Amino acid sequence: MSTVSVAITVNGKEHKAEIEPRTLLVQFLRDNLGLTGTHTGCDTSQCGACTVLVDGVSAKSCTVLAVQADGAEITTIEGLAPFGMLHPIQQAFWAEHGLQCGYCTPGMIMTTASLLARNPDPSEEEIRHELHGNLCRCTGYHTIVNAVRKSAELLAGGATALPIDQLAD
């Protein structure tokens, strides 16, 4: 089977690999790199569980071929904060109970990161519009919207990543 060479920077580290041309970016992240924080929900571009940042913009990694990401910079949920620490957006989801089972959460958080990078103070309508491609079966969305608002507040206030044990109730 023919393969192609790719060089993809993920969470600040370049990874060179020989892959089948049909390899999806989500497969590359999970299977080649072991970054299983990026979830696969539907595999058909509907649920958003696989959302990552591609050159800083949110993208559903089940709809991107790894070869299309050749030369790109990818950020996954693992890359938001150092291991054992929570990024302010993660802190906000914790504080506002923006998750239950957590399956959708990495995608929700990466979509939030993309939104707040270009719009640091979004309205509720803008938040709901941005999240329309991310499905959640548990929360009813209200706490997620609150978490995005809280994320904006924390980031505007200069919040930084914190160790997880500092957040425990």
- Nearest to ligand FES of 60, 150 (CB atom): 60
| CA distances for 164 relative to 7, 19, 149, 169, angstroms | 32, 36, 21, 11
For ligand FES, which residue of 48, 79, 106, 122 counts as binding (CB under 6 A)?
Answer: 48
Beta bridge partners of 57: 54
Q: Is 87 a residue that touches ligand FES (CB under 6 A)?
A: no
Q: In this complex, which beta carbon is closest to ligand FES, that of residue 48 or of residue 79?
A: 48
How far apart (Å, rounded) are the C-alpha atoms in residues 87 and 64? 26
Binds ligand FES by CB under 6 A, chosen from 33, 54, 110, 136: 136
Q: Is residue 101 near ligand FES by the rule CB under 6 A?
A: yes
User: Helix-strand-coil percent breakdown of the chain, rounded to 5?
Assistant: 40, 20, 45
Name the 3-class secondary structure at 133. Answer: helix
68 binds ligand FES (CB under 6 A): no
- Tell me the two tokens of residue 95: 């504080």
40 sits near ligand FES (criterion: CB under 6 A): yes
Which parts of this chain interact with ligand FES (CB under 6 A)? 40-43, 45-50, 60, 62, 99-105, 136-139
